[in-house]
A and B are shown apart, each in its own frame.
Chain A
């Protein structure tokens, strides 16, 4: 934003003189807002009113500034709510508090203002030398039934280029109001999301500028349901951005007028200031045996996998290349940036693209802004030796070339490109949404294989092998790199105790990773004394030791938000049980299956002396409305139901009688 600072003022806004300031506001009759606690049986507090006001100030002389007012009125409903009303507001070193009011209104209406003596202002410095200030105070005389209210006006230098605001919080909100005011030379975009039924934004003239107004009532507290998906998908929020500002002589400076504008800063970092990122590094990848582009891409990816295995998603921009190389592991954007450099060093043209993961964010293509995409991809256009363009996410170390990871399903990425027009020395930045294409998507699979033998006294010995593929193997690969022998022993115990509390680990080995197939395997042996129960001539082996993903999910019979299933899971549990000596199989659970967003299959086969139970769960990724919840739950109930069943054996002699 600083690069776009306007140096001279045009007559249009020189005439404004609108540099009026925002002033803290307090509710005239707070008692009238008092809620009925019976309406909020699940909540510690309720936000009676939340108000945000913005004023983008362009004075006749002096620099631009932005003021923001935050006003909140909260009713305390429980003791725990009473403990949570202390106030700590951290803000940037450049931000000033220019207005402040706070008070407590007792249940009987008595007002106690927060006095200046009770306010503690302090400041700190972070290790990148960024300073910040913090204002702290406690509301006086708060009791259950009190209302606390604060109103703070801050001022920051320059114009706020964009503002992203979630509306829901820890408590329900009765009334939410927002107002943003600016001069007519500021061109804006504003929009609210997930606000079904709310009135549209209104625009009115304010002096020589505009004033935007919007509001919504009765907003529920943030959802805490599992598998609820990203907050942007269902929690109400609004976005404001400055598209452009007028300059002298009718010039217009574009800020967020289009996606190329919004991402210009990042584009420069990625392409033009690349040397800063790679300072003090010397990356050398041997491509002497490569004749074509394809080979070089494959070699670069292999090098990246080996030298800088994935450490986890951190988003853009990641650490400087030198730190990454020192550390020996890389995050998503670090891998992408290094891949691009390696390819460029070997004459392979590639571009960056930003995206958000499948069902893990939200982009409004009509609303350019920078906050919605933090993940980075590499796009390799068709070129000599490469018949078709390639999308590469180097995080997907288990993907073959051209294969896409599951989080790129249905993705349109923002491809950042540039070109030099005519004799220009500065590039023209381009950004367009392009569907990410490729073969996909490798599943993440977890398979547990049990070979169980039952002794005549009911003791069960199990040889257990876990096999992980895809992202699951990637995780195990990281454990292999980090975990100590003692940690392996402890995790072995945890794995075993999660199945049979009374079992003891007999033997265990850490995961072994096979990079050729991207498979990680771990072998364990455990014993559970008298886990099988003898009842006369019958031996009962409970199947409560089964343990698969989703076994403990979807237990609630209610659902208010859609269910987000992001991963194409394919998990299996295969149990081979040998009858105790002298026994034959008497009864087994039945086979069953259920299809849907979560598909479950239980396959039971047996011979006279052996039983095989194959339990599997497959997930079809997607967003499923609450109406589908019963179907999902029924499948999971079927999945876990077998854990309450048993295999029974009967003495062979009895059987033959």
Chain B
């Protein structure tokens, strides 16, 4: 680390940049808290430069990322963090540097040894060849400018694409991508917002015999982290770029022209991984011993075996990010990642005489990403397309609980690239319907003599994703946790569940338990005011912010039906609130109170119809949820019955 102090007595411009290769800083042009009162830092410039050039064995790429940030508040230093990642199998760090310029002009410079370079530790991945470069800058005074630059060299750029996001969790004054390519080479690019194509074209120029493509955005608002919001990449403009045609050793080469061509390449990469031996064949035989000749039944049995017996462990190195470990290794170890599990199932199906194909998909969090430019970079997950007499069936054996024929929520509504050797294609998986994902709760409570607590029994019936999540918990948890699971399943406040019983049937999970609700209302002057909001959670609770910049991501449509039956010895309900019916394009809610055979009954039905709600509809959505809260805040007064 070097340190020197700059003097700028005659000039307000910090001129350090000239000698050191950093661009100049004009301190009079820097944003301040006056110009950005709500920002703790401003990204002055974030730039990516991707330069393709000929290499000895084929095209290389140099990827240069730079960022300049000015800190406005003490907690703004996080905006300046140097953060980048690279694959040690295909890339190396060519250079790495950073500097800080304090308000008094003191410059500190940082080199590679000041930046951490460590194996990536991604959730769910045991080991991978991705590495993370990181340098946090703490203790920076407001007014400090931080520059950093990372240069990577990539020696396998032809089958991969680069995605550049425009935006940050802080305001960005200027964000740019520049792609430089020899004049005779071609690139392909795609601009998207929320993964839908948008018109955001580059400026194209020529420089020293090379074509230069430049995308620029200025004055971007900061990206907010909002509850039930999409991920960062899902809400900012993204430009994807890939090399489309190049020359090497006098020959012209072209990248995949279509997703289908890419699928054929993937098929080659994944070939010779369906290894078999007698033990595996014997296992298939045993699994299918009592299964009839129906191919679907056979496929289901093998799918369930892989689901339950192969532990999810991801180890991905180099091409191993796309090529599964051979089936026998996975079978021997009894562990593997998504493509390992899918490939083992493919191999077992093959032994059983059933064709199937690996398929690439982007496992999303409610916001599917359509397939973009042909090539690697469109998917993060592998599933299997099973060729059955009645058509292709998509299955995801990584899931431990989703039944054969269904897909987990993260795979729904998504583009799936079926890696078929002859007929590769993209198909779109279906979203489930509200009726598929239904939970019903019936709770019968006897109100305490004194109130406000009540005891009784509850029964939950869970289908679709509710079934899967409960079933997953059930298979995962210790017996001692079942009461807690039941409490979570019924979504009620201050409830104790005892003696829970779960029955996981083919069509759903059915559960019952004894329950005690600590408080169903308020007591006063011989009355008990029953108010559902006191003991039932309401949907949309996290959407409290006054404004919204991003869509609200719901994911799968669902239905929740609740019936609360209150027995209240010696009391009677004076009047019942009117039924409530709320409807919006995104969700609906019905609620009604009834008196039946001396019991008080509340029935409600909440249906979430949309998978996402645009930000511009946020006020309307909030109004809907506020109306649900108001409905649940309605009360029924239970009064002691007059003695005759």
Whether the pair A486, B546 counts as a contact (CB closer than 8 A) is: yes
Q: Which residues of B contact A136 (CB under 8 A)?
A: 126-127
- Count of A-B contacts judged by CB separation below 8 Å: 192
Stretch from A37-45, A195-203, A464-472, A509-517 that touches the partner: A37-45
Q: Which of B93-117 contact A (CB under 8 A)?
A: 102, 106, 113-117
Query: How far is A136 from B333 in the complex, measured between Cα atoms in Å?
Result: 15
Expressed in whole angstroms, the Cα–Cα distance for A213 and B531 within the complex equals 62
Measured CB to CB, the nearest residue on chain A to B224 is A486
- In this assembly, does A317 line the interface, its C-beta being within 8 Å of a C-beta of chain B? no
A124: B residues at CB distance < 8 A: 116-119, 131
Residues on the B chain within 8 Å of A118, using CB: 333
Answer whether residue B512 sits at the interface, using C-beta atoms and an 8 A cutoff: no
| Chain B, 284-301, CB within 8 A of any chain A CB | none
In the assembled complex, A327 has its CB within 8 A of some CB on chain B: yes
Kindly state the separation between the CA atoms of A535 and B521 in the bound complex, as whole angstroms. 15
Contact B142 A531 (CB under 8 A): no
Residues of B within 8 A of A490 (CB): 544-546
Let me know if A645 and B142 touch, CB within 8 A: no
A329 within 8 A of B: yes
**Does B594 have its Cβ within 8 Å of any Cβ on chain A?**
no
B335 and A138 contacting across the interface, CB-CB below 8 Å: yes
Is B529 interfacial (CB 8 A cutoff)? yes
A122 and B138 contacting across the interface, CB-CB below 8 Å: no
CA–CA, A390 and B521, complex, Å: 54
Which of A134, A319, A502 is the one whose CB lies under 8 Å from B138? Answer: A319
A458 to B466 Cα, complex, angstroms? 38
Interfacial chain A residues near B141, Cβ < 8 Å = 325-328
How far is it, in angstroms, between the C-alpha of A320 and the C-alpha of B140 when the chains are bound? 12
Does A248 touch B at the CB level, under 8 Å?
no
A382 at the interface (CB under 8 A from B): no
Q: Which residues of B are found within 8 Å of A142, using beta-carbon distances?
A: 311, 334-335
Q: Once the chains bind, are B522 and A327 in contact (CB under 8 Å)?
A: no
Contact residues in B for A357 (Cβ distance below 8 Å) = none
Q: Which of B476, B479, B521, B525 makes the CB contact (< 8 A) with A538?
A: B525
In the assembled complex, B11 has its CB within 8 A of some CB on chain A = no
Which of chain A's residues have a CB closer than 8 A to the CB of B451? 644
Least distance between A308 CB and chain B CB atoms (Å): 11
> Which B residues touch A10, using CB under 8 A?
none
- Complex: chain B residue closest to A502, CB-CB: B633
B74 & A140 in contact (Cβ 8 Å cutoff):
no
Instruction: Judge whether B139 and A138 touch: CB under 8 Å.
Output: no
Shortest B511–chain A CB gap in Å is: 18
Could you tell me which residues of chain A, from 480 to 511, have a CB within 8 Å of some CB in chain B? 481-482, 484-486, 489-490, 493-494, 497, 501-502, 504
Partner of B527, one of A484, A502, A531, A540: A540
Contact A78 B335, beta carbon cutoff 8 Å: no
Q: Nearest residue in B to A88 (C-beta to C-beta)? A: B126
Q: Give the distance in Å from the alpha carbon of A591 to the alpha carbon of B182 in the complex.
A: 85
What is the CA–CA distance of A41 and B480 in the complex, to the nearest angstrom? 5
What separation, in Å, do the CA atoms of A542 and B637 have in the docked complex?
12
User: How many B residues touch A, CB cutoff 8 Å?
Assistant: 74
- Is the beta-carbon distance between B119 and A542 smaller than 8 angstroms? no
> Does B58 have its Cβ within 8 Å of any Cβ on chain A?
no
- The answer to whether the Cβ of B621 comes within 8 Å of any Cβ in the partner chain is no
Chain B residues positioned under 8 Å from A558 (CB to CB):
none
From A132, A528, A644, give the contact of B523 (CB < 8 A).
A644
Chain B residues near A126 (CB-CB < 8 A): 116, 118
Any A CB within 8 A of the CB of B163: no
On whether the beta carbons of A79 and B476 are closer than 8 Å, the reply is yes
- Complex partner residue of A484 from B38, B144, B633, CB under 8 angstroms: B38
How many angstroms between the C-alpha atoms of A560 and B492 in the bound complex? 27
Give Cα A320–Cα B3 distance, bound, in whole angstroms: 15
Known interface pairs A141-B334, A646-B523; A83-B312 also in contact (CB < 8 Å): yes
Task: Give residues of chain A (274-323) contacting chain B, Cβ–Cβ below 8 Å.
Answer: 280, 311, 319-320, 322-323
With a cutoff of 8 Å between Cβ atoms, the chain A residues found around residue B131 in the complex are 124
| B184 touches A (CB below 8 Å) | no
CB distance from B331 to the nearest CB of A (A): 10
Q: Which residue of A lies closest to B481 (CB)?
A: A42
**A134 cross-chain contacts in B, Cβ below 8 A:** 119
- Please tell me if the beta carbons of A44 and B478 are within 8 angstroms of each other in the complex: yes
1/0 per position for A200-234, CB-CB distance to B under 8 A?
A: 00000000000000000000000000000000000
Distance A397 CA – B115 CA, assembled complex (angstroms): 36
In the assembled complex, A422 has its CB within 8 A of some CB on chain B: no
CB-based contact B126/A125 at 8 Å: no
Q: Are B524 and A80 in contact (CB under 8 A)?
A: no
Chain A residues positioned under 8 Å from B525 (CB to CB):
538, 540, 586-587, 646, 648
| The one of A78, A86, A540 that contacts B529, using a Cβ cutoff of 8 Å | A540
Q: Do the beta carbons of B546 and A489 come within 8 Å of each other?
A: yes
A120-B127 in contact given A127-B134, A538-B525 (Cβ < 8 Å): yes
A502 touching B533, Cβ below 8 Å: yes
Q: How far is the CA of A341 from the CA of B538 in the complex (A)?
A: 56
The residue on A at minimum CB distance from B77 is A327
Residues of the A chain whose Cβ atoms lie less than 8 Å from the Cβ of B637: 533, 535, 540
Interface presence of B221 (CB below 8 A):
no
Which residues of A sit under 8 angstroms from B452, Cβ to Cβ? 644
Tell whether B53 is near chain A: CB-to-CB under 8 Å: no
- Would you give 16 A-B contacts (Cβ < 8 Å), ordered by A? A77-B478, A78-B477, A83-B311, A88-B126, A128-B114, A141-B334, A142-B334, A323-B139, A328-B74, A485-B38, A528-B633, A544-B531, A586-B525, A644-B521, A646-B524, A648-B524
15 further contact pairs, Cβ within 8 A, besides A41-B480, A327-B138, A502-B533: A118-B333, A120-B127, A126-B116, A127-B116, A142-B335, A328-B74, A328-B142, A481-B73, A482-B74, A536-B574, A540-B522, A540-B524, A644-B523, A645-B522, A645-B524
9 pairs of A and B residues whose beta carbons are closest in the complex: A323-B139, A124-B118, A42-B480, A646-B524, A326-B141, A542-B522, A80-B476, A502-B633, A138-B313
